[in-house]
Structures are given as C-alpha cells and as structure tokens.
Amino acid sequence: MSVAIVSSDQMSNRKKIFIIWGIPIILLIGTLFWGTYKKGNVDNKPWINSEFGIVPVSVPKDHDFTVTTLDNQTLTKADFSGKVLVIDFWSSWCVPCKSEGPILAEVYDTWKDRGVEFLGVSIWDSEDAVKQFILENGIKYPNAIDKSGEITVDFGVRGIPEKFIISPEGEIIIKVIGPNSKDSLEKILDEIVLENFRSP
C-alpha cells in the first residue's frame, strides 16, 4: 500500500484555491438560502428582514484586524479605540446587502456623533462595483475590499451580510447574521451605547 505525501507547498496551494474559489461559492449559496427561506420581511420585499440573528461570536473577543480602505488608508482596531465599531461584511452582488445599503447609510448618519463608527468590508468584489454601490447608497463611512478573503476567513464569516460589533475597549461583543432593518440595528446600538457611554 502506498502513502501519498503532501508537501507544505501543496497544502499552501490547496488553501489558496479554497480561499479563492471555495469560500465565495459557500457564501453565495448561503446568501441564496437566506433570501429564499428567511421569513418576516419588511414591506413584503424579499431579502429585507425586520428580524435579525444574534449568534455567538466566532472569533476571540480581542481579535485584531488590518484593512486598507478604498482611499488607501490603513486601519486597525486601535484606530477606533473609544468608539463602538460596527464592521459590516457585504458584497455589491449580494441581494440582501443591496437592500440593506441605504439602511446602513442612514443609521450611520444618525449615530456617527454618538460614539459609533462603521467600517464596511466588501468580499470578492471589484473596486468599480464597490464604489458605485457606495455612491448610489450615499455611504460615508470607510470601506475596504477583502480581495483574498483572508479577513473574512479570520473573522469566521459564513454568510453575508454579517456584522461584528466591537466595544470602545476593543472587545468583539456581538455578531449579527443576516440583513437588518433600521429599527433592529438601532435597538442593538441603543443598548450598547447606553451601556458604554452612560453618565457616572
């Protein structure tokens, strides 16, 4: 009986192939499944849900990150110290993300002066498509493109849209899966801001 020996280079190549091809396919299938089977949408529009799902955080709570935004600014978790940070994983080709885009833009405009920052991370997207999406939805918060998928894998993202909320102390405290309504997202932020910025 022969035993196949796989070199470290072969393993590395297989990992790259999985990141480039396997994960986008999984996310696309997950997105289609969510939109097809999730009930309770707003105004009877498919893909928009008045409910959201808070699930256990899939990464260490002190997990760090580094992204390069569309305007070539390098950002890490430390740049948002003292603020509540909402990281939104999305794509311009994702139907629920398209529905949620104007909601996020509106919520950000409402909360940006209340100690809340947003950061968008687009997955496997073209720069032109991302810029067009941002322009059409009036999004003013920074956005980056995770072309390799490494940031997405590091955060344990399994579907889009998906959000991670980080406390002013830099701890990942909430993971939200699926699209949000304005009310559902603001309810989460209201509770977090009240907890972290209440007067002594």
Q: What is the DSSP letter of 44?
A: G
Give the Cα separation of 103 and 45 in Å (integer): 14
- 35: enclosing H helix or E strand: helix 23-37
Q: Which residue has the higher pLDDT, 9 or 147?
A: 147
Instruction: Measure the CA–CA gap between 37 and 65, rounded to whole angstroms.
Output: 32
Model confidence, pTM: 0.74
Identify the H or E element spanning 191.
helix 182-196
- At 169-199, the pLDDT tens digits run 999 999 999 888 999 999 999 988 877 765 4
Give me 132's structure tokens. 């067009």
Tens-digit pLDDT profile for residues 84-100: 999 999 999 998 999 99
The domains of the chain, with CATH numbers, are 10-196 (3.40.30.10)
SS (H, E, C) 175-190: EEECCCCHHHHHHHHH
pLDDT higher than threshold 70 for residue 8: no
The residue type found at 33 is F
- Residue-wise pLDDT tens digits, 157-167: 888 899 999 99
